[in-house]
């Protein structure tokens, strides 16, 4: 076991304090946050020559190179925004965006159990339940 006095150095030349390596020591870019992996959709994997980004669970690499979320069931009228979660298009609801809101295409509805409760009327319409009545008038002349 070494004594404390053996570890003390007396350096008069500051150049002796510099680190000198034949080559740079390996860096873990993932731990040091020196990578370009996208948080949430990609995991950083440290390698000897740098790092690589792999898609996180629930994501797959798309043709353009980005990791895209995967929904086991298709988002019929919507987009998969997180693994297993769809964002429905206007006028649709439900886990798979396959239920049509009963708002005549003028609003989103409150949800799958409330298809007839419209939450924000669009297209110059108003009311809790948007009703569009089309009146056909037939005129007979004799």
User: Which of 3-7, 11-15, 71-75 reaches the highest mean pLDDT?
Assistant: 71-75
Range of the domain at 58: 16-69
Considering only 33-37, 59-63, 100-104, which range has the smallest mean pLDDT? 100-104
At 139 the pLDDT is 61
pTM, 2 dp: 0.61
Q: Report, in angstroms and rounded to the nearest whole number, the Rg of the chain calculated over CA atoms.
A: 32
Higher pLDDT, 126 or 129: 126
Domain total of the chain = 2
- Strand, coil or helix: what is 78? strand
Average pLDDT over residues 103-114: 85
Same domain, residue pair 100 and 55: no
Average pLDDT over residues 130-141: 52
Same domain, residue pair 59 and 105: no
Same domain, residue pair 44 and 80: no
Same domain, residue pair 54 and 83: no
**How distant, in Å, are the alpha carbons of 8, 77, 90, 105 from that of 128?**
82, 23, 17, 14
Alpha helices, H only, the chain? 4-7
Same domain, residue pair 29 and 64: yes
Same domain, residue pair 44 and 105: no
Q: Is residue 7 part of a domain?
A: no
Same domain, residue pair 93 and 59: no
Q: Is residue 4 part of a domain?
A: no
What single DSSP character describes residue 12?
S
Same domain, residue pair 28 and 86: no
Q: Is the pLDDT of residue 9 over 80?
A: no
- The gap between the terminal CA atoms of the chain, to the nearest Å, is 122
Q: Is the pLDDT of residue 133 over 60?
A: no
Q: pLDDT digits over 54-84, tens only? A: 999 999 999 999 999 999 999 999 999 999 9
């Amino acid at each position: 076991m070494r004594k404390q006095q053996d570890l003390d150095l007396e350096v008069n030349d500051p150049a002796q304090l510099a680190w000198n390596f034949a080559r740079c020591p390996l860096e873990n870019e993932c731990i040091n946050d020196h990578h370009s992996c996208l948080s949430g959709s990609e995991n950083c994997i440290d390698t000897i020559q740098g790092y690589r980004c792999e898609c996180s669970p629930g994501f797959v690499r798309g043709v353009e190179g980005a990791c895209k979320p995967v929904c086991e069931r298709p988002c019929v009228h919507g987009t998969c925004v997180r693994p297993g979660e769809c964002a429905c298009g206007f006028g649709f609801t439900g886990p798979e965006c396959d239920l049509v809101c009963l708002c005549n295409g003028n609003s989103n509805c409150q949800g799958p159990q409330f298809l007839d409760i419209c939450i924000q009327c669009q297209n110059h319409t108003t009311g809790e339940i948007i009703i569009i009545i089309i009146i056909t008038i037939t005129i007979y002349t004799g």
